[in-house]
Structure 1
């Protein structure tokens, strides 16, 4: 698929080692993931987190108590809007227009095909017959992406992976309510008692929340097979082991922490959340996560 979608494997995620790949990585590190660029994006993250919280809060008010909320579209929309606003300066999720719908479909199709096991990779002779129509689908997708990506970069790398991780984290917490209580207690002690939401600068202080995120990444890595790159030894780029890690930790911590602060969530109908893994490059849950949510008292004191 990458031959047709990522310009004959020249994209940063799949390009072979060499000058081209190092140049792309250097651009990502200095122009997208640098500390200065991340600081410039703080207001975008806060704005999108509050938008997501407002949507859930409005639903709880209509229900006058706990209401069933499907979290996947909200989490996906949140991360897509964060990345889109950082890259293109506009939001898509929540906007009722054809362009927003097309972008969402493109992302879903890309990760679905990216996680597909193509038998032609194992039996090359089958490529002559385009077994299962995989090549035809990839070429069609590549043509659609070509039109869209002429004006954008780095869209897919951060959107689906982050929303998938958020969904797995919430699913695990709902299946382990004792852990959810500990996270909420930590947030209450550090942040909520002051009548405000968690901020980016408090990433290092919420150690239990950070451990939950790290354990989620260990149990359900967003790209379990990874793209075809592996370090021959420990290395750092511009002082960081992974250029995108700081952005991921900040966005994950801010979104997950705010959800836990603002809502009391529990499993739907007191049935364990199904943790079956679905198909796709980023290993999504097979079933969209649904939870019963009730607004916490902190929402009486903060403006979202």
Structure 2
């Protein structure tokens, strides 16, 4: 009898599970009206609709189906937002509901999705990391105290460009901006300089950072069909893990040396020291592993996005020489003509430069689809449509910046549009959301704001520029390559010249 009972338990458990599943299917459901969208194909859904440049493909779909559309990407339910009004509903009115993260398979490298501020759910650990960043790194006093380090790195950018000027050599603006961003970030985080211009060490770090950003943004079959995640059919997780390990190796060496210095009571009072102070007060609050994953978030996001934005800004200004002249004249008027160095405190007085940066963010947001959100609560009704629980939410910042119902002549580079308006990119104006908005807004925005303005101002204030190879400004290629960061397909090559004074 006992033996019969023993063998009956699994059978009965299975039977109850099947019955419960059937009852769930037969249970009457409230009618669900999903947002409109193209009809999905069997199994693959709308994956083919994405194309090589999903931000552009989704923008075209929104012109057909409206600013709120529904797609089926394999088994992944996705909702795409392409207008400022709808974005405000998701990112402000229902901010808490849509504050979850739909993390890609690439983010699973070294369990980054479990420890990263970018991918954690908006709960206790996430709030703790955000607070640390806000208070220890991105507060105005913290940034002011480290601006001398950034000023030194900008001076080295000037010295490098001057050398190219003397030699008549073209500057790869993206690479020069990346090296400067890398050193600005490493100075702020570690009080160290990571790379020299045209050095092998810079190329190696650029490969690591760009590789991580590429794989985090790369369409991944394992994301569309989670059953394939363990197989990693495209090798994305495997390749990203290699990059993560290389980055962590760098951090481990720096942290090890810093701990030795601290044992001798020598402090540098930078971001790393602040993090180690917290760790040594209470390891459970912030472990060394937490610190490495946080540094990865800050380091990778703060270099690639900033350098890409600077390259786009310089590309637009070289395409529009009269706009370049307006920036240059403003700098001469505010800063002076005798190569005085621009300072971070000058930014507030440079209204046209700020307008140029805003216009660059509008046309070329660093993250065209932001980092994917997720509907973390129950089904939610938005504008008469049901947004299903666990749906991936994509905010198409690229499409919002080119919305013809919001922007006059949206495809044109017109910085003047921002001179007579208070519209900004700091999360309060949903027609311009390159950093996101709501509780998931990019925590590094205050530093990125300073770095982008300072690099563009430094390049323009100290040099005149012409396109390499005698290109006419209108011949400059402005094609985009999609990824987590929006890059120029063909790098910007420009020749610096001695500044013409008059």
Q: Specify the TM-score bucket, using the shorter chain as the normaliser.
A: 0.7 to 0.9
Pick which of 8-17 and 178-187 moved more.
Answer: 8-17
In the alignment, is the contact (CA less than 8 A) between 1:14 and 1:229 conserved in 2? no
How far apart are 1:61 and its partner, in Å? 1.4
Q: For 1:148-167, list aligned pairs within 5 A.
A: 148-150=250-252, 151=255, 153=295, 154-167=298-311
Structure-2 change in CA distance of 1:90 and 1:69 (3 Å): same
- Residue aligned with 2:342, SS: coil
In the alignment, is the contact (CA less than 8 A) between 1:77 and 1:93 conserved in 2? yes
- Residue aligned with 1:265, SS: strand
TM-score normalised by L of structure 1? 0.86
Q: For 1:125-204, list aligned pairs within 5 A.
A: 125-150=227-252, 151=255, 153=295, 154-193=298-337, 195-204=339-348
In the alignment, is the contact (CA less than 8 A) between 2:342 and 2:457 conserved in 1? yes
Residue from 144, 148, 154 that aligns with 1:43? 148
Alpha-carbon distance between aligned partners in 2 of 1:222 and 1:229, rounded to the nearest angstrom: 17
Alpha-carbon distance between aligned partners in 2 of 1:83 and 1:29, rounded to the nearest angstrom: 16
In the alignment, is the contact (CA less than 8 A) between 1:175 and 1:267 conserved in 2? no
Larger radius of gyration: 2
Residue from 101, 104, 109 that aligns with 1:4? 109
Q: For 1:264-275, list aligned pairs within 5 A.
A: 264-268=464-468, 269-271=470-472, 272-275=475-478
- The count of aligned residue pairs is 292
In the alignment, is the contact (CA less than 8 A) between 2:114 and 2:120 conserved in 1? yes
Residue from 244, 248, 263 that aligns with 2:448? 248
Alpha-carbon distance between aligned partners in 2 of 1:12 and 1:94, rounded to the nearest angstrom: 30
Residue 65 of structure 2: aligned partner: none
Residue from 27, 44, 49 that aligns with 2:132? 27
Structure-2 change in CA distance of 1:100 and 1:187 (3 Å): closer
Instruction: Give ranges in structure 1 of 5+ residues lacking alignment.
Output: 299-304
In the alignment, is the contact (CA less than 8 A) between 1:165 and 1:216 conserved in 2? yes
Instruction: Give ranges in structure 2 of 5+ residues lacking alignment.
Output: 1-105, 256-291, 377-426, 429-436
In the alignment, is the contact (CA less than 8 A) between 1:262 and 1:297 conserved in 2? no
Pick which of 2-11 and 283-292 moved more.
Answer: 2-11
In the alignment, is the contact (CA less than 8 A) between 1:71 and 1:288 conserved in 2? yes
Give the root-mean-square deviation of aligned CA atoms. Answer: 2.6
Structure-2 change in CA distance of 1:138 and 1:253 (3 Å): closer
The answer to whether 1:296 aligns with 2:499 is yes
Alpha-carbon distance between aligned partners in 1 of 2:128 and 2:331, rounded to the nearest angstrom: 40
Deviations, residues 118-155 of structure 1 (Å, cap 9, x unaligned): 02211234435432222322333333334334435121
In the alignment, is the contact (CA less than 8 A) between 1:5 and 1:139 conserved in 2? yes
In the alignment, is the contact (CA less than 8 A) between 1:14 and 1:228 conserved in 2? no
TM-score normalised by L of structure 2? 0.54
Alpha-carbon distance between aligned partners in 2 of 1:230 and 1:204, rounded to the nearest angstrom: 36
Deviations, residues 5-39 of structure 1 (Å, cap 9, x unaligned): 56234211121111111111101100010112111
Larger helix proportion of the pair:
1
